[in-house]
Amino acid sequence: MVTFSADGRLVGSVAQEPQEAFVWSAATGNVRSRISLVDLVEPVRFSPDGSTLYTAGSDLMLRSWDLTGRRQFVPRVTDHASIPEFDFRTLPGPSGRFVAYPSSSGVRFLDPRGRAAPEPEEPFAVTGNGTWAPDGVRFASPSGDGVMVSDARTGEVLRNAQLAGTIAALDFSTDGSTLAVTDSRTALLVDADTLQPLGAPVNIGGVPCRVALGPDNRTAVLATGLQESTWPFWRAQCSGWALVDLRSGAVLHRGTVGPERGIEAIDVSPSGDAAALALATGEVLELDLRTGNPLHPPIDAHEGFIFSLRYAPEGGRLVTSGVDASAAVWEAGTGRLRARVVTPTLFSLAEFSSDPSVLLADPSGNVYRWNTSLEYAIDFACRLAGRDLTRREWADQFGDRPFRTTCPA
């Protein structure tokens, strides 16, 4: 059984196994909302303005569900922006100023307040994921044998330079003055303003797959693979890593995470003392770059592929998001879980904002802001419940710990 909203734009339906409610766009047939339910639910109903969905379960409870995204624990700040098809990952920028959507015809940028930058006047072919400068405005993209730097405010291409070899990966330095660029054989430092090489390419003894440049503008952590990793049909996992001085060409440390794992993403801490590696197994390995040894056992971060991995600007936290539809914040150096949330949509990438919150962006043009503080979570739960924990609920959760008031009166 289905139900239409009053204006006919939305369709509500219920599935019994598993028990879920769906909200569909009547015009496109796309799923707008998917809600997990705990009880057998009768037919759903919309509010007159279509902003709320009501469900009534066999437990005799009436529940209301926010469809706007504005009143949820992870509120939506931009919804379904007009972004064309793109070919690579959605990439939220530092401080949450813009989100990049790279495609084979260029890069489109979205302001989380809902405004999209104009299309590039001269479309260019992007051939892979890009990298943000720390100012959250400049965005560097690989384009065949070259690199292009764009301004997210206008979409304008600021600089364009050809380099030797097809660009495999690139990363801005912490101060935004330098880029580390890799092709299928070597790694190279490039001046971010002129895109001119700063020295000779460095052969690291393997195929570079990922790169993260340290704050000293010379050392970089690279994921490396065998020559087979460049085959277009069968892509071998890049399971090696190397800490390389790209100015002197010296390999300072080298290691492997094992052939069954593979490295999908790398980030270097703001201090330059540590690096975090996202593994294909859903684990995160944090390395001490002074010794090359792990700082702690691998973190079981996500069930499956990790989409994003990033240190906070102050260096004390890590944020990850994965294919298991969750985002998590970890204590850097120990791997201790600080907070986790189920993301509003399956494919979300995470980046720290200018405040303690985390920005989440998905391929549909939706942007969400997650306040990761414990105080916010407690306040939201108290407002949602409308009351404090009972003594029995307290005992179920905290055992013999003395009861205390959680929600203010």
What are the residue boundaries of the structural domains of the chain, listed by start? 2-68, 76-372, 378-409
pLDDT-derived band at 287, boundaries 50, 70, 90: very high
1.10.3470, 1.10.10, 3.30.70, 2.40.10: CATH of 2-68:
2.40.10
Does residue 358 contact residue 309 with C-beta atoms inside 8 Å? no
- Residue 85 confidence (pLDDT) above 70: no
Higher pLDDT, 385 or 338: 338
pLDDT score of 123: 57
- Rounded to 5 degrees, φ, ψ at 89 are -70, 145
pLDDT score of 244: 95
* Mean pLDDT (whole number) for 123-135: 81
* Mean pLDDT (whole number) for 13-22: 81
Query: Which pTM value belongs to this model?
Result: 0.82
pLDDT score of 173: 92
pLDDT-derived band at 293, boundaries 50, 70, 90: very high
pLDDT score of 7: 92
275 CB contacts (<8 Å, ≥6 apart)?
212, 221, 243, 266, 267, 268, 269, 286, 287, 289
- Residue 219 confidence (pLDDT) above 60: yes
Distance CA 358, CA 312 (A): 10
Q: Which residue has the tokens 């489109």?
A: 108
- Residue 83 confidence (pLDDT) above 70: no
3.40.50.300, 1.10.10.10, 2.60.120.380, 2.130.10.10: CATH of 76-372:
2.130.10.10
Distance CA 35, CA 19 (A): 9
pLDDT-derived band at 21, boundaries 50, 70, 90: confident
Does residue 137 contact residue 103 with C-beta atoms inside 8 Å? no
Q: How many percent of the chain have pLDDT more than 70?
A: 89
Distance CA 19, CA 14 (A): 7
* 172-190 pLDDT tens trace: 999 999 999 998 889 999 9
* Mean pLDDT (whole number) for 237-254: 92
Task: Average the pLDDT over each of 27-31, 88-92, 115-119, 387-391 and give the range with the smallest value.
Answer: 115-119
- Residue 323 confidence (pLDDT) above 60: yes
Distance CA 112, CA 109 (A): 10
